[in-house]
Structures are given as C-alpha cells and as structure tokens.
Structure 1
Amino acid sequence: MTETIIELIRHGEPVGGRRYRGHAIDDPLTEKGWRQMWNTVGDCHHWQQIISSPLSRCQAFATALGKRHNIDVTVEPRFSEVGFGEWEGLSHEIIKTDRIDEYHAFLRDPVNRRPKGAEALDSFIQRVVAAYDDTVQHHNGKRCLLVTHAGVIRAVVARTVCAAPVGLYRMKINNGGITRIRHTESGGILECLNGQMTEE
C-alpha cells in the first residue's frame, strides 16, 4: 500500500453560540469561524481531494477552499455529526443546569446513557468508520482533507488508536483544529491532534 495521508479539520465557530449541534442543526459559520478555518490552513493546498460533511458549517468552507486552489470537493453524508436527539439546539449551560443528572450520566457512560432520541453511538461510529475506510481505499497514495465535526474526528481517532467508545467525549477537538493520520502498510498512525497546518 502506498502511503496515504488524511487530514481532518473541525469546522470553525458556528452562529448560535455553544450548543449541541448534531446532524439536525445546520448553523452557518460566524465571521470568527471563517477566520479560524483560514488561519489554520494558511497557504497550504497540498491535497488532491477535499471531502466534506454536507452540513453548511463544513461544506461552505470546503467549497471555498476547493475553489481557491482548484481542488476537487466531494460531499460525504456519512461524515455528518452524531445526532443528539432532544438535546439538539440546547445550549451547554441549559443542559448543565436543567438536566444535570442526564448530563453527568452521559459523561459517565455516553454509550448507554444517550439523550432521548439520540443516534446510537455504536451506529454512529460504524457509519463514520465505514466512510473513512472507503476514503482511505479510494484515495490510496493521496493526501486528502476531511472537513467535518468533533464527533466524527473523535470516532476516527478512537478507531485509529484502538480506544473504547466510552472514552470518546474525553477528547477535546478544537474549532479549526487539524488532526493528521498517516496510513502505511502497517496501518494508521495518529500524527497530530488539534494542530495547525504545515507543509511537508
């Protein structure tokens, strides 16, 4: 297998402040969110392919970056954020005050104590990993950028380092942060988490 590099960038700050956004909330980026994204990538354009979540907080930047550097952009629905059920659209502060017991139960066991109506974590991980594996296989030997969400990045990282799903929310993923995974014949290696883009 030829070496393949996948870089994942989390979308910048969305309109509406800190709240639970799964695949049912499609807030666009704020001006700060756009700056976070452009500041992270800088002048880098070393990708042969850009792949984006269909949600506007990802896709708008992916499209703009692709146009700027004449890089093909595709949309992969399986890279959408995990669904948060009845927590969708609620602020972190409301959850931590009005639903404190639910919140702590979720942090202790995010696999079995999901918000009501939320996407099952195992199912979410399966769809993300399937999309990721397809990406690595289809773009073998290339360098690709995935523009996506914190949950998606957590799922990919956890799979790469063989971490259990119960620990997914113990991983902080910054707005505009870069994660890099290098794939060789021996498998994927996590090289960077929450970094800036650098030319190699």
Structure 2
Amino acid sequence: MSHQTTIIDLIRHGEPEGGPRFRGSQDDPLSTLGWQQMRAAIRGEDHWDVIVTSPLLRCVEFATEVATQRHLPLHVEDRLREVNFGAWEGKTTAEVIAEEGEKLSRFWEDPVANTPPGAETITEFNQRVVEGWQHWRDTLAGQRALVVCHGGVIRMILADVMGIPLQKSFAGVAVPFACRSRIRVDQSDFGILTSLHSHG
C-alpha cells in the first residue's frame, strides 16, 4: 500500500436566524451575520476536492454555494446532523437555566449521564457521527475535503481523533460559529495515523 495523506477541514456553521440557542434538529437557516461569518472563514487559497455537509439548512445552503462556485462534488451526509436536544430545542441558554438550571449544569459537567428531557443520548449521537466520519475519512482517502457541520458534531469527531472521553467532549472543546478545524489522516502499511493540525 502506498502512503496516502487526507486533509479534512471541518467548519461549523455560522449564526442561524434567531441567534444562539439549543437548536439541534431545529432547521433554521443562516442569519445575515451567519453568512458573513462563513464567507469570511473561507479563503481564496483554500483547495478542496470535495465537500460533505450536514443536511440542515444552516450547513447545506453554504456548502452548496461553495460547491457551485468552485465546481466541486457535494455529498449530503445525514449522520452529521446536530444532536437532538429534545425539550431544550429552540430555547436559549437563559430560558433553559430559568426552567431547569440544575439539569443544564449537570449536562455540561457530564452529558453522557445527563441527557436533556426527550433528547438523543450523547452515546447514540457519538455512534452515528463517528460512523459517518469514519466512512468519509476512508472514502475520501488521499483527497482534500471540506466538511460543513455543527458544534456538537465537531466535538464528537475531535473526541474520536484525540481520545477525549465523551464526558468531557462538550465542555472540554470550544467550537464557536464558523470555527475551522483541520484533521490530517496518514494511511500506510503501518496503519492509520489521524491527528488534529489546527483548531479555531
């Protein structure tokens, strides 16, 4: 087997309409500010062979714009949807604190053991994201890819790459709007070496 290097740039969507809140599966598009954040995060010298995106509007609309402008293939991956926050969907942090502040504190301390009411568990979320991530990591071997997704999704991927315990995966990694992370994957006869090269 010849040595192959894969470069995958993860980017979180910009601010959606309605501002910061527990959006999860709520399918709001990007706000005007969100479009500005995303366009500012992409540079002319960026080079990709392919784009993969979450199906949610705040990701897929921007991914489609970049793919169209740069004449790149675009793949929509349902496993890269954000975690479903259940009863917290659509609420701001202040609203959740006012209604059940202790539950929110416990979630940030250990999201594995403290699932929001009616929400997808972090274990289930992690399993589907990692399955999607590993599929595209292997499928796109030797290429350069842009993956447009969500803060929670990026946390799950970084936890997989860096061996971060799921209990620390949310509070332990900051992923602001339009944040970019670069992952390098080296495949050879000796196995696969995956490393985080930049974040922020």
Q: Secondary structure at the match of 2:94?
A: helix
Q: Would the aligned equivalents of 1:45 and 1:69 in 2 still touch at CA under 8 Å?
A: no
Q: Would the aligned equivalents of 2:109 and 2:168 in 1 still touch at CA under 8 Å?
A: no
Residue 27 of structure 2: aligned partner: 26
Residue 161 of structure 1: aligned partner: 162
Report the RMSD for the aligned CA atoms in angstroms: 1.0
Residue 197 of structure 1: aligned partner: none
Q: Secondary structure at the match of 2:4?
A: coil
Structure 2 counterparts to residues 136-175 of structure 1, below 5 A: 136-170=137-171, 171-175=173-177
Alignment partners' CA distance in 2, 1:63 and 1:182: 24
Q: Would the aligned equivalents of 1:8 and 1:180 in 2 still touch at CA under 8 Å?
A: yes
Aligned length: 193
Residue 59 of structure 1: aligned partner: 60
Alignment partners' CA distance in 2, 1:107 and 1:70: 40
> Alpha-carbon deviations, 1:89-132, whole Å to 9, x = none?
11111112221111112122210111111101111111111111
Offset of residue 158 of structure 1: 0.7
Structure 2 counterparts to residues 68-87 of structure 1, below 5 A: 68-87=69-88
Alignment partners' CA distance in 2, 1:42 and 1:6: 15
The residue identity in structure 1 corresponding to 2:12 is: R
Calculate the TM-score normalised by the size of structure 2.
0.94
Residue 198 of structure 1: aligned partner: none
For 2:12, which of 6, 10, 13 is the aligned residue? 10
Q: Would the aligned equivalents of 2:12 and 2:176 in 1 still touch at CA under 8 Å?
A: yes
Calculate the TM-score normalised by the size of structure 1.
0.94
The alignment-based identity, stated in percent, is 37
The unaligned stretches of length 5 or more in structure 2 are none
Structure 2 counterparts to residues 41-120 of structure 1, below 5 A: 41-120=42-121
Q: Secondary structure at the match of 2:124?
A: helix
> Alpha-carbon deviations, 1:30-74, whole Å to 9, x = none?
111001111011214411110000000000000000111111111
Alignment partners' CA distance in 2, 1:50 and 1:44: 16
* Off by >6 Å, runs of 4+ in structure 1: none
The residue identity in structure 2 corresponding to 1:111 is: V
The unaligned stretches of length 5 or more in structure 1 are 195-200
Q: Would the aligned equivalents of 1:21 and 1:84 in 2 still touch at CA under 8 Å?
A: yes
Comparing 55-64 with 44-53, greater Cα deviation is found at 44-53
Alignment partners' CA distance in 1, 2:109 and 2:144: 36
Comparing 35-44 with 136-145, greater Cα deviation is found at 35-44
Alignment partners' CA distance in 1, 2:178 and 2:89: 22
Q: Would the aligned equivalents of 2:16 and 2:28 in 1 still touch at CA under 8 Å?
A: yes
